[in-house]
A and B are shown apart, each in its own frame.
Chain A
Amino acid sequence: MKATYLAIILFFVLTAIGIPISVSMMLGVIIAVVLFGVYPPISLATLFYSSLDSYLLVAIPLFMLSGIVMSYGGIARRIFNFSESLLGFLPGSLGSVNVMASMIFGGISGSSVADVAGIGAIGIREMVNRNYPRPYSTAITVASSTLAVIIPPSILMIIYATIANIPVGAALASGLVPGLFITLVLIAVNTVFAIRKKWAPSRGFSMSQTVRTAAQGFPALLAPVVILGGIFMGFFTPTESSAVAFLYCLFIGTFVYRELNAKKLYQVIYEGGRTSGIVAFELASGLLFSNLMTIEGIPGLLTHAFVGMHSEPWQVMILINVILLVAGMFLNPGFSIIVLTPLLLPIAKSAGFHPIHFGIIMVTNLAIGLITPPVGGCLYIGSVVSGVPIEKLIRALLPFYVVLLLALVVIILLPAMSTGFVEWLYRD
Chain B
Amino acid sequence: MGKSLRKLADHAEGILLCLFTFLLMADVLLGILARYVNFEIVFADELGKYLFVWLCMTGVSAAARDNQHVRLSFLAARLPNRKGTWILSQVLFLIFSLFFFYWSFRLTRMHFVMEKSVMGFRFPMYVFTAALPVGFALTAIRLIQDILHTWKNRRPLNPWRPAENNDMI
Contact = CB atoms under 8 A, between A and B. Distances in A.
A137 interface: no
A270 B62 contact: yes
Interface string B71-106: 111111001000001101100110110011001101
A16 B72 contact: yes
A273 B168 contact: no
Interface in A1-28: 14-23, 26-27
Contacts, number: 229
Given A274-B66, A281-B60, A381-B163, A30 B168 contact: no
Interface residues of A, number: 74
Nearest to B51: A58
B167 A278 contact: yes
B25 A61 contact: no
Given A45-B106, A55-B49, A270 B13 contact: yes
B56 interface: yes
A185 interface: no
Interface in B13-59: 13-14, 17-18, 20-21, 24-25, 28-29, 31-32, 45, 48-49, 51-53, 55-59
B150 to A, nearest CB: 12
B103 A269 contact: no
B141 to A, nearest CB: 15
14 contacts: A17-B88, A23-B92, A23-B96, A42-B107, A45-B104, A52-B56, A55-B48, A113-B168, A270-B13, A273-B21, A278-B70, A377-B166, A381-B164, A381-B165
Contact of A48 (B18, B66, B132, B167): B132
B72 A21 contact: yes
Given A21-B70, A278-B59, A30 B99 contact: yes
B68 A274 contact: yes
Interface of A: 14-23, 26-27, 30, 41-42, 44-46, 48-49, 52-55, 57-58, 60-62, 64-65, 110-113, 148-149, 155-156, 236, 239-240, 242-244, 246-247, 266, 269-282, 332-334, 370, 374-377, 380-381, 383-384
A49 B28 contact: no
B169 A278 contact: no
A64 B24 contact: no
Contact of B69 (A46, A240, A278, A374): A278
Given A41-B99, A273-B55, A274-B62, 8 more contacts: A17-B79, A46-B107, A148-B169, A243-B24, A269-B17, A270-B62, A275-B59, A376-B167
Contact of A155 (B69, B71, B85, B169): B169
A416 B155 CA distance: 54
Interface residue tally on B, bucketed by range: 35 or more
Contact of A276 (B55, B73, B75, B104): B55
Given A30-B96, A48-B132, A112-B169, A272 B106 contact: no
Contacts of B13: 270, 273-274
Contact of B167 (A57, A113, A247, A384): A113
Contacts of B162: 380
B98 to A, nearest CB: 11
Contacts of B167: 113, 278, 332-333, 370, 375-377, 380
Interface in B115-169: 129, 132, 160-169
B148 to A, nearest CB: 18
* Most chain A beta carbons < 10 A, residue from B57, B71, B92: B71
Interface of B: 13-14, 17-18, 20-21, 24-25, 28-29, 31-32, 45, 48-49, 51-53, 55-63, 66, 68-76, 79, 85-86, 88-89, 92-93, 95-96, 99-100, 103-104, 106-107, 110, 129, 132, 160-169
B interface, by DSSP: helix, strand, loop or mixed? helix
Contacts of A376: 167
A155 B104 contact: no
Contacts of A383: 163
A247 B25 contact: yes
Nearest to B135: A277
B89 A274 contact: no
A49 B132 contact: yes
Contacts of B99: 30, 41
B163 A18 contact: no
B71 to A, nearest CB: 5
A61 B31 contact: no
Contact of A58 (B24, B29, B72, B74): B24
B102 to A, nearest CB: 9
Contacts of A17: 75-76, 79, 85, 88-89, 92
- The 7 A-B residue pairs whose C-beta atoms are closest, nearest first, are A277-B59, A377-B167, A18-B76, A20-B69, A273-B17, A280-B56, A277-B60
A345 B21 CA distance: 34
B169 A58 contact: no
* Most chain A beta carbons < 10 A, residue from B52, B57, B132, B164: B52
A274 B88 contact: no
A323 B28 CA distance: 38
B107 A45 contact: yes
B107 A49 contact: yes
